């Protein structure tokens, strides 16, 4: 996407990348993490966990910006992200 203007320091801004970890057997399949991910990198998996729910999977791990929205919104503490090594 190209904008007609950009911040003067746009080239200096370093966007952090993250690695998403999912504790599958803790997930209850509510889908909050999928719904609130700003980069839309999560989706429901085809497999079931021990509880019979479809836990999320990361569809595009290169796009994670380590915003922590997934872990903040998860009621079961089944997902978290950490900063990827640069």
57/22 Cα distance (integer angstroms): 8
Write out pLDDT tens, residues 60-74: 999 999 999 999 999
Confidence bin at 1 (pLDDT 50/70/90): low
Q: Give the pLDDT of residue 43.
A: 97
pTM over 0.85: no
Q: Is the pLDDT of residue 5 over 80?
A: yes
- What is the tens place of the pLDDT at every residue in 19-47? 999 999 999 999 999 999 999 999 999 99
Residue 41 CB partners (closer than 8 Å, separation 6+): 20, 58, 59, 60, 61, 63, 64
Give the chain's domain count.
1
Measured torsion, CA atoms of residues 31, 37, 42, 44, in degrees rounded to the nearest 10: 10
What is the CATH number for 64?
A: 3.30.70.20
Give the count of beta carbons closer than 10 Å to the beta carbon of residue 2.
4
- Domain of 28, in residue numbers: 18-83
């Amino acid at each position: 996407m190209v904008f007609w203007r950009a911040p003067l320091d746009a080239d200096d801004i370093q966007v952090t990348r993250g690695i998403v970890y999912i504790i599958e057997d803790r997930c209850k399949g509510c889908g909050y993490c999928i719904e609130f991910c700003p980069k839309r990198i999560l989706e429901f998996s085809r497999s079931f966990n021990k509880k019979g729910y479809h836990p999320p999977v990361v569809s595009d791990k290169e796009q994670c910006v380590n915003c922590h929205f997934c872990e903040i919104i998860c009621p079961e503490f089944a997902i978290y992200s950490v900063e990827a090594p640069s």
